[in-house]
Chains A and B, each alone.
Chain A
Amino acid sequence: MPAEPTVPGALAEPFPAFGAAQLGRRGRRLPVVSLAIIGVFVLVALFAGALSPADPEAQSLRARFSPPVWDARGTWKHVLGTDRLGRDLLARVIWGARVSLTAGVLTVLLASAFGGAVGLVAGYYRGRVDAVLMRLTDATMSFPVILLALILAVTVGPSFANVVIAIAVILWARYARVVRGQVLTLMELDFIVQARIAGASAWRIITRHLLPNTLNTLVVLITLQIGYVIIVEASLSFLGAGIPPPTPAWGSMIAEGRDFVTSAWWVSFFPGLAILLVVLAFNLLGDWLRDTLDPKLRQL
């Protein structure tokens, strides 16, 4: 069993967290339900073409606002009903999984890659490099995400790419700060000090010693933020800056159906349910990861 570290989050070897001893000591059972939900939606996203009963963009104005099949006026042709242009809701939710999950994952990967890199560099070199990078980080962190996305949407028009870019461009700062904080304390550890004295290059230290020890934090943050990105996309759709029609994305589907919450409730309900399940699953998974890897990461 590795020695109890004196600094939160830092362990001499990466990923020891899944040993049985660790689990027994502070973890709970694997969050089976969350993993299952995520698994199902990932599969749906990957095999959308095969699973979808219809073309998600096929309009049929006369069939608009058809209710789901269990309603008196519902039909098996549209199991979950149709939206304001008569498009099949089940098809759109299925294809929407691909769009929304891709947006979430892509954004978070971009942000964490860039932010993590910045944090590592800043923490390792310190001094002026650190000062400059941290000022940039501070400036970025205080810019409201939604406003940036709105400005982009108004300037170059809303698009999938713009949503990903707008969010990632602000999100990286969070990763940078957290990683840097970790690196700063890691740098004080004996084995790293020794490595530097022994003449190891910056690259070697960063990739072989620092990065693995920050992976825990990154994994937790990434998991927790995927849900956040999906929710932000929904808010952006509401304001007109989200993933634009006719692309089926859960967020814009909810926004489109918002005037009919009590009449054509299904239009917003099913994509809303999808978002709820997916984001809940990611959040609970992230919580579990954090509790298992290190509960002291409570500021995440």
Chain B
Amino acid sequence: MTIYLAIVAALLSITLVVGPVAAQGKPELTVALSSFSTEVLDPVLGGHIVKYYLSLMFDYLVGTTPDGLPSKDGGLATRWEPSQDHRRWTFHLRKGVKFHTGEEVTSEDVKWSLQRAIGKRSTTGYAGPLRTLIQDIETPAPDRVVIVTKEPTLIIPTYLSRSLSTEGMVLPKKYIEANGDDVFARKPVGSGPYRFVEQVTGSHIKLTAVDSHWRIGAPKYKTVTFKLVPEETTRIALLRRGEVDIADVSRDRVAELEREGFPIHMRKEEAILTMWWILPRDGMPTKDRRVREALNLAVDRGELAQSIFAGKADPAFIPMGLSWSYRDFGFKLTPEMQYPYDPARAKKLLAEAGYGGGFSMDVYAYQLPGLPEGKAFAEAMTGYWQKIGVQTKLIPVDYPAFRKNWFDRKTPGAMGYYNIANRDWIGTYALIEKMAYSKSKASDVVNDPEIDGMLEQVLRQTDKDKIGVLMRNVYTRLRSEHYGVPVVYLHSPYAASKTLGKWNIGTVMYDFFIDELASSK
């Protein structure tokens, strides 16, 4: 018995004495995330969405401010200009920028990186459109790159900037050619303010600061660690224990954290939660415009925003309407566009369309990163539609399974949804082109020849005002034809430790601007 007690006592004391590592003298930043999307550190071959850690390791050709506006201070290009016909874009590069291996960044690296990013094996978000657009890349001098496009266009600087995806990241040509893609993926080398140290898949990614960087001077944090912590209670416990400085949290728990005094950085309207029907519409009740309108009128967006989204959401009324672009396009939401909550009228419309007895509709239910309420939300929607006589069936899946059904069009008429990240006008065009353009085939959810025509013109436009007109018309038509059920704009909360200090989290999708946080400029 005494032996037993002795063993237990010994173990307990080891536990409590050799406790967790206390805060060090050197400032370290730790970020806890619910998902990493992928753990391949190659910006081009990794199937990426999030850029939190990539933006620290690599520099972009074109930088942006935290609000997503192109900035001459944040990227390798100190200035850029188009030719008269908008088919040749010249970028002037900063001098003296070095990769973590010590080699200088030249126009050769920019050219090579871009070719790789739009190459066949690339998995970046906008490789396709860039591939069709770019004709040639010239390097007249070590500090100058010229991108030649097949058609006149305005989109090149934005597509190669920090505000969209990773095509603009500049990678070390010599290092990758010498060591191969696999080694690069495991030991990435860039020119950003933080260098790769180690990665434990499924656990964390650790970066360490370079001595001084042209973007931010001497970084304030010696190391930045990104931890993968899928369970929310655990992330919050880590925050409370002071083991992480930043954690993404769900909207439901913001109130609790605010009561305890944790600063919450809210990204307003970070995404639009919008639903759509899988094509084709032929033979489906949703072919009739009135049915689509009825399904929209049956939803009490205000109630949803206050309840399921804990008040951290605002009603949305334009399908796929990315509100950050409204300002750029000069689009204004009129009162008529705002769907009222009117189930009576919805039932009338259904009867008019010949569906007074209702019809059956499948609704897929799944979680998404940034949308932990996914399944509850889908259930709530089915509740609204059942009240107007639509027999909805909830089909729980995970997102990849839904996506397959969506692209394969095996289940026409079924509804799915996504929290589409909000973005500026060029990003918006890119998204609308994917989802509302019938030539995008699988991902199209609209199939409207008028919208097709308008989108085709945008790509060729170089006059921003004309683009504005076209896109305003696209939005108006999306709304008037009810090509989807827009639900809410989601505000995304990020909890910080009480000692973090001032931080502008920015409005660029999938990026935290941690380099700004670490900046000593």
Contacts and interface: CB of A to CB of B under 8 A. Distances in A.
A13 B207 CA distance: 72
Give 5 closest A-B pairs by Cβ, nearest first.
Answer: A244-B396, A61-B307, A59-B383, A61-B303, A84-B376
B241 to A, nearest CB: 16
Contacts of B367: 240
Interface stretch (B46-54, B65-73, B139-147, B250-258): B250-258
A263 B376 contact: no
Contact of B375 (A59, A62, A64, A245): A245
A260 B256 CA distance: 10
B380 interface: yes
Interface of B is mostly: helix
Nearest to A61: B307
Contact of B307 (A62, A154, A259): A62
A85 B383 contact: yes
Interface of B: 232-233, 250, 252-253, 256, 300, 303-304, 307-308, 365, 367, 372, 375-376, 379-380, 382-383, 394-398, 400-401
24 contacts: A59-B379, A59-B380, A61-B300, A61-B304, A61-B308, A62-B303, A62-B307, A64-B307, A84-B308, A85-B379, A154-B401, A158-B396, A240-B367, A244-B365, A244-B394, A246-B379, A246-B382, A256-B376, A259-B232, A259-B233, A259-B250, A259-B253, A261-B233, A263-B256
Contact of B379 (A62, A157, A245, A258): A245
A64 B253 CA distance: 15
Interface in A45-86: 59, 61-62, 64, 84-86
Contact of A85 (B380, B395, B401): B380
Interface residues of A, number: 21
Given A258-B233, A259-B233, A259-B253, A246 B394 contact: yes
A256 to B, nearest CB: 8
A157 B307 contact: no
Classify the secondary structure of A's interface with B: loop
Nearest to A243: B396
A70 B205 CA distance: 48
B396 A245 contact: yes
Given A61-B303, A61-B307, A85-B376, A154 B396 contact: no
B173 to A, nearest CB: 40
A240 B401 CA distance: 13
Contacts of B401: 154, 157
A240 B383 contact: no
Contacts of B395: 157
Contacts of A86: 307
Contacts of A62: 303, 307
